[in-house]
Amino acid sequence: MMAGRFDDLDYESFRKLAAEAGLSRFERIGFPDSYREGYEAAIFADIRTKLPKLDNDGMTVLDIGTGCSELPNMVMAHCAAHDHRLALTDSVEMLTLVPEKLKVEKIPGRFPDTAPMIAATIGHADVILCYSVIQYAFAEGILDSFFDAALDLLAEGGEMLIGDIPNVSMRKRFFTSSAGEALHRAYTGGNDQLVTGIGESEEDKINDGVVLRLLARVRAAGAHAFVLPQNDDLPMANRREDILVKRP
């Protein structure tokens, strides 16, 4: 399947991918297999270093935009081993593909519409994971309400990782470096002209301005927020980063 198939996705198109016949579990969450296959253990290891409360016992954990690949299975197994209560929210089509487990509650629907239901079910969460999701909220123009609702669900002392944010400014910085050029040559066999994107409009993409504005927004709302790099062994570490929120 071509990468272009996964451009311009939104909540509704993910519902269709979840239900479409013949797709791999990575394609259902919008990735060509090569972007995720064999990498998810490293992704989860990176997530765990950023969310140390996942290694406590008896936490309440929320995963927003769960998807249906191996990652939610890793999250569920880890939560079971630590006796966490886990809530998953995504479309009903996506959540149907996730196995039923004890102490795992599925709350189907579109976030932040599901926020009141989540609050009624689990109250506040000690740990919130929202991995590779906010770019779709951004594209749908609901980034601020999505972020504010997630922050409202975070308990005092809680940790929230808004992970795997594609940042077009970061991508440009990488592809104007020697390392970026070398990667491009290796990927294309040196035939294609490298398009760095310098000078292109960023209006419809998450860039440094969007990321830094989100930090300021969370901080103004009374929580700490930090931008963190991804571990180098992650497939898109050269152009994606994470936001860690800690509520004092």
Ligand X SMILES: C[S@@+](CC[C@H](N)C(=O)[O-])C[C@H]1O[C@@H](n2cnc3c(N)ncnc32)[C@H](O)[C@@H]1O
Question: Which residues bind to ligand X, rule: CB under 6 A?
Answer: 11, 14, 29-30, 65-67, 69, 71, 89-91, 94, 110-111, 131-133, 136-137
Cβ closer to ligand X: 43 or 155? 43
Count of Cβ atoms closer than 10 Å to residue 153 Cβ: 22
Q: How many CA atoms lie within 13 A of 224 on its CB side?
A: 10
Cβ closer to ligand X: 53 or 110? 110
Cα-to-chain-centroid distance, residue 84: 20
Question: What is the 8-class DSSP label of residue 57?
Answer: S
Which residues lie below 8 Å from residue 207, measured CB to CB, with a gap of 6+? 167, 168, 169
Beta strands in the chain (DSSP E): 60-64, 85-90, 104-108, 125-131, 154-166, 224-229, 240-246
Measured from the CB of residue 95, what is the shortest distance to ligand X in angstroms?
9
Phi, psi (deg, nearest 5) at residue 246:
-125, 120
Measured from the CB of residue 67, what is the shortest distance to ligand X in angstroms?
3
Measured from the CB of residue 191, what is the shortest distance to ligand X in angstroms?
30
Cβ closer to ligand X: 65 or 180? 65
Cβ closer to ligand X: 111 or 175? 111
**Three-class SS of residue 112?**
coil
Specify the length of the chain in residues.
248
Which residues lie below 8 Å from residue 39, measured CB to CB, with a gap of 6+? 233, 234, 235
Cβ closer to ligand X: 115 or 170? 115
Measured from the CB of residue 198, what is the shortest distance to ligand X in angstroms?
27
Measured from the CB of residue 133, what is the shortest distance to ligand X in angstroms?
4
* CB contact at 8 A, 246 and 223: yes
* CB contact at 8 A, 140 and 11: yes
Closest residue by beta carbon to ligand X? 67
Cβ closer to ligand X: 28 or 247? 28
Measured from the CB of residue 13, what is the shortest distance to ligand X in angstroms?
9
